[in-house]
Structure 1
Amino acid sequence: MALRLPRLIRAVPRPWIARRDPEGSGLHGPRIAVIGNCQAKGVAEAVRILLPGARVRLIPMSTLGRRAGGLDAFAATLGDCDHVFCQPFPAEFFPEGGSEALRARLPRMRLFPAIVFTAFHPDAVYVGDLASVARVKLVPSPLGTYHSAITLFGFLQGLPRERIVGLFREDVFSRLGYLDAWDLAAADLIASSRAIGFDLSGELLRWSRGGLFMHNINHPRLSVLGDIAARLLREAGLAPRSVAVEAYAPDALLDDPIWPVYPPVATLYGVAGSTVFKRRQRRGAAPETLSLDAFVAESLAIYRDQPRESLTCHRVEHWRGLPDVRALFES
């Protein structure tokens, strides 16, 4: 006689599943809109876990520039929300202005910062035209739009692949400032958060004590986004659950590119290090990784197919003016 297991699995709540708010959904909590970049999805999911019953609406920042009717019309669509949590966005998305103009129309709106922290991944940069935030023209890379400054500068200096791979070592990292990046990264994050009235100095201290808290320069781990969500709820006068969000939901940003913490950097901060890069993957698909040699080879192939004038990067332009850095790539 076959043993029949009780059908309890279906009854297990799955708080990470995005829930819509149609009539009869059974959700009766406050209506909350979360507006932002790729980090906003994690904040929205955290809000659903921390505040059961909340009717959460996620609005990706990438959709703002395509909305008809301008900023007034967009503000009107948020009129039935009890709370609006929004990352800062520039005026390029709407003729009437950016997030500050939206907050003037929605006094109950609260800004929260975009998390950018480069100390764990000091070699990762963007390449291309960053002049207009709303219409960025970035050069692709094996990891989407994340490039290695060492690889790019080596290419522009005419170095072969083997020479470039050989530059990924501790003495080079030290000369490039990669082993002294923490204070500047921390100062930048704290300054940007204070600028919108959301000082992250206390949170940063707690995150740093927990080890590695970034997947790459602008993708924090879910625990970080959970902290942001909990604080937004508390400051809105709500009472979030005291739970670790990452224990109840998958980290969606793990599906995006993962930049490794190079071993000399990892040793400095007491975290695990490697030179294995991970591409963006489809949900449920197996991760595809690249060795350092493969990553450099693919990057060089991309650069050879690009107009040389498109390979612009502030870091590289700065290095060109430093004789000691040029000497590293010429010796």
Structure 2
Amino acid sequence: MSVLQTGRQALLGALARLPCWPAARDVPYRGGPRIAVIGNCQARGVARSLEVLLPEAAVTLVPTGQISRRARTLRAFADGLARYDHVFSQPIAAGHFPDGGLAELLSLLPRARLFPPIVFAAFHPDMVYVGDLSAGGAAGLVPSPLHTYHSAITLFGYLRGLSEERILRLFRDDVLARLGFLDGWDLAADDLVETSRSIGFDLAPDLLRWSRRGAFMHGINHPKLFVMADIALRLATEAGLDPAPLPVEAYLADDLLGEVIWPVYPAVAEAYGLKGSYVFKRRAMPKAPPSVLDLAGLVRESLALYRTMPRARLTCQRTEHWSRSPETCALFDAA
């Protein structure tokens, strides 16, 4: 298994519990179908796209990080969903309810339709979480200058005792190539397609179409709006509904633009025929202009945070993998 794929299931479980969005809201009945959309932060894009595509529908968003607050048991949760005409859900991680998980929910709601979480690391192979992914939500994650997202190169450089200047020298094309950052497309694509096919929602044709539009991700787990709009369109069409034939992104703002934007590094971008940069955007603050960091700023602020942390908290599957590779350790130590 590639290092870029390591820990994907743990990552998806953590994403499902992160409190990205407000609690679910019940919307007024509009005379059209009642639709519940269950999922992580990506599900908001699906739900809002459905509101554009199906203006008569009453769409309710149910964040997976909050489903156990709506009901104490799986059966009670399923009973609450029974009033909806359609339930569209990302896979639900185990542990939300004592009486079952996804398989049991689907047996209680046989008309529910699954759609896959989108995780695609090829554009942003340096972007990682640090900390305990199994702790639940953001509780076990180490904060960073970019919310909970870290640079694996910066972290491993710190763990190897490198200075800021030496870490910055590692962001070279030859180093990125030796780390496998320039040839991660096939692995990322195979992983996404395999995951989607495992729940009966084959993304292979969609992935080909998205790739023709350039970098379709803001980061490893935040797709651009047109990706989630395509998924919403498929869900509506395959459910026998009649979605409006229009490009959702022309009418709807991309909420995930308010989250962290990780750049496609120039060497990675060149490999895919794109334009790259080292400009990172922080999470948006209310009524404030976008705040960005250059590479030196990210490294400097990250190192300042790491120095305040117990070393035992700075765990990351990527850097643990690198630490077991003499070649990678020598690459960093030579910087």
Give the Cα separation in 2 of the matches to 1:330 and 1:121.
23
1:36 and 2:39 equivalent? yes
Indicate if the aligned counterparts of 2:261 and 2:280 stay in contact, CA closer than 8 A: yes
Alpha-carbon deviations, 1:192-244, whole Å to 9, x = none? 11111111011001100111100000000000000000000111111111211
Who is 2:266 aligned against?
A: 263
Retained in 2: the 8 A contact 1:88–1:98? no
Q: Which residue of 2 aligns with 1:249?
A: 252
Match of 1:49 among 43, 47, 52: 52
Per-residue deviation, residues 126-177 of structure 1 (Å, max 9, x unmatched): 1111235568511111111111000000000000111111111100000000
Do residues 320 (structure 1) and 323 (structure 2) align? Answer: yes
Please state if 1:94 is matched with 2:100: no
> 3-state DSSP class of the match of 1:56?
strand
Q: Give the equivalent residue in structure 1 for 2:27.
A: 21
Contact 1:70–1:96 at 8 Å: present in 2 too? yes
C-alpha displacement of 1:99: 2.3
Q: How many residues align?
A: 311
Q: Secondary structure at the match of 1:93?
A: coil
Offset of 1:322 from its aligned partner?
1.1
In 1, distance between residues paired with 2:37 and 2:46? Answer: 8
How far off its partner does 1:73 sit? Answer: 1.1
| One-letter identity of the residue aligned with 2:289 | A
Identity %, equivalent residues: 60
Structure 1 position 97, deviation (Å): 2.2
2:67 to 57, 61, 64: 64
Q: Does 1:301 align with 2:301?
A: no
Equivalent residue for 2:182?
179
Partner SS, residue 231 of structure 1: helix
Contact 1:262 1:274 in 2 (8 A): yes
Give the TM-score, by structure 2 length: 0.90
Contact 1:179 1:268 in 2 (8 A): yes
Which of 283, 286, 290 is the aligned partner of 2:289?
A: 286
Matched with 2:231 is 228
Mapped pair 1:145 → 2:148 = yes
Query: How far did residue 68 of structure 1 move?
Result: 3.7
CA distance in 1, matches of 2:310, 2:262: 26
Contact 2:72 2:97 in 1 (8 A): no
- For the pair 1:219 / 2:222, whether they are aligned, the reply is yes
Q: Secondary structure of the residue that 2:244 maps to in structure 1?
A: coil
* Whole-Å separation in 2 of the counterparts to 1:269 and 1:185: 14
Unaligned runs of 5+ residues in structure 2 are 1-23
Q: For residues 247-294 of structure 1, what are the alpha-carbon distances to aligned partners after superposition, in whole Å with 9 as ceiling and x for unaligned? A: 000000000000010000111112221101111113543110011001
Say which of 69, 75, 84 aligns to 1:81. 84
CA separation of 1:254 and 1:289: change in aligned 2, threshold 3 A: same
Q: Give 3-state SS (helix, strand or coil) of 1:242's partner.
A: coil
Does the 8 A contact of 1:255 with 1:283 survive in 2?
no
**Counterparts of 1:288 and 1:177 in 2: how far apart (Å)?**
30
Q: Which residue in the other structure is 1:15 paired with? A: none
Q: 2-side partners of 1:254 and 1:134: how far apart?
A: 21
Contact 2:25 2:61 in 1 (8 A): no
- What SS does the aligned partner of 1:326 have? helix
Which letter does structure 2 place at the counterpart of 1:21? V
CA distance in structure 1 between the aligned counterparts of 2:153 and 2:248, rounded to whole angstroms: 36
Do residues 161 (structure 1) and 167 (structure 2) align? no
Which stretches of structure 1, 4 residues or longer, exceed 4 Å deviation after superposition?
132-136
Alpha-carbon offset, residue 69 of structure 1: 2.3
Match of 1:191 in 2: 194
The amino acid across from 1:80 in the alignment is: R
**TM-score where L is the length of structure 1:** 0.91
Larger radius of gyration: 1
Partners of 2:294 and 2:220 in 1: CA distance: 19
Secondary structure at the counterpart of residue 58 of structure 1: strand
In structure 2, relative to structure 1, the CA distance for the partners of 1:62 and 1:81 (3 Å cut) is same
Letter of the 2:312 counterpart: E
